[in-house]
Amino acid sequence: MGEGVAGFRMTVGNVLSGLWLIGIGPGNLQQMTLEAKEIATKCSKRYLEGYTAILPKDQENELENIIGVWKKVMREEIENPREILDEAKKEAVCILVVGDPMQATTHVDLEMYCHDEGIDFNIIPGLSATSLAVSMSGLQSYKFGRQVTLPYAYGNYLATSPLKLIQKNKMNNLHTLVLFDLDPSGMGVETPQPMMPSEAIKILQKMYEKLSNEEELLDVESPLTWDGILLSDLGTKEQRITSGSLNELSTQDVGVIHCMVIPANFSEMEKEAFNRRRMVE
């Protein structure tokens, strides 16, 4: 990871200077690895990235007890990381990322910045909610297609590409993991407001209606009739997994962070797994 590193590097508590991107798991600090805790504790500066994912409030309150003093940074500080990069040239600096560090494009950009400036760049992996979602859905991992992020509508603009991608996956008999947006503003500067299941399914239905008017549908069925698996607060003590039609799942607004799987055709084992997760009235 250290290609292009400057010749002289300071050591802070046995951790070399540079930028450390540390995954802290999906929302339960007990799932943070021992290596992640050790490196974070020994870094001089600690930042929690707070806009691509959310750490539950009770876990935020506990974080300082585990790793020491930290500061939250939002999109501006990550996409324009001049201050952080300057610090990382002379001391060990870590950015704590909920989940696994390199799943967001902005985190990939950090590696590029460090490479260009001769700053050592290190990654400590973390358990990802996306891998948990595939595992906990009960569906076969090799049958998943391209995952989709479902964005909020911005003003009068409603993207329809997520629905098209889901439809293409279904046509190819591939399941789709659908991640819900966290930022209604699209700017990444305010406290995230996670999309709730009712909002997500309403947005999918609006996409369907828009494409119906434009005659660009690949599938004539309304999303409300589709099967779905709703995964809420994965990796936390409040984890909840339910299955049913999207119309049924739209009533499930208990929890904070949600994602959803839209299945393609089930194998017999997958159908049984789906039924075991069915909503209980």
Token reading at 44 = 């001089």
Contact 165, 204 (CB under 8 A): no
Q: What is the CATH number of the domain that holds 168?
A: 3.30.950.10
- For residues 67 and 165, membership in a common domain is answered with no
- For residues 239 and 272, membership in a common domain is answered with yes
- For residues 140 and 122, membership in a common domain is answered with no
Identify the domain boundary among 127, 143, 169: 127
CA 132/CA 26 separation, integer angstroms: 9
Count: domains in the chain: 2
Q: Which residue ranges in the chain fall short of pLDDT 70?
A: 1-13, 186-190, 215-220, 280-281
Residue 141 lies in a domain: yes
Share of the chain above pLDDT 70, in %: 91
CA 118/CA 201 separation, integer angstroms: 46
Return the pLDDT at 190: 66
Contact 180, 150 (CB under 8 A): yes
- For residues 92 and 76, membership in a common domain is answered with yes
Residue 4 lies in a domain: no
Question: Where do we find the tokens 């979602």?
Answer: 133
- For residues 189 and 265, membership in a common domain is answered with yes
Identify the domain boundary among 69, 104, 127: 127
- For residues 86 and 43, membership in a common domain is answered with yes
CA 75/CA 270 separation, integer angstroms: 39
Return the pLDDT at 51: 84
Rounded to two decimals, what is the model's pTM? Answer: 0.86
pLDDT tens digits, one per residue of 251-277? 998 899 999 999 999 999 999 999 999
* 97 phi and psi angles, rounded to 5 deg: -125, 125
Give the residue among 20, 240, 266 at the shortest CA–CA distance from 120: 20
Return the pLDDT at 240: 95
Residue 2 lies in a domain: no
Range(s) of the domain holding residue 204: 130-276
CA 17/CA 120 separation, integer angstroms: 7
Token reading at 101 = 């560090």
Return the pLDDT at 218: 60
- For residues 136 and 264, membership in a common domain is answered with yes
- At 118 the three-state DSSP class reads coil
Residue 117 lies in a domain: yes
**Spacing of C-alpha 182 from chain mean position:** 9
What H or E segment, with its residue span, contains residue 241?
strand 240-245
Identify the domain boundary among 85, 103, 127: 127
- For residues 268 and 137, membership in a common domain is answered with yes
Residue 281 lies in a domain: no
Question: What b-and-e string marks burial along 240-255, b requiring 16 or more CB atoms within 10 Å of the CB?
Answer: ebbbbebebbbebeeb
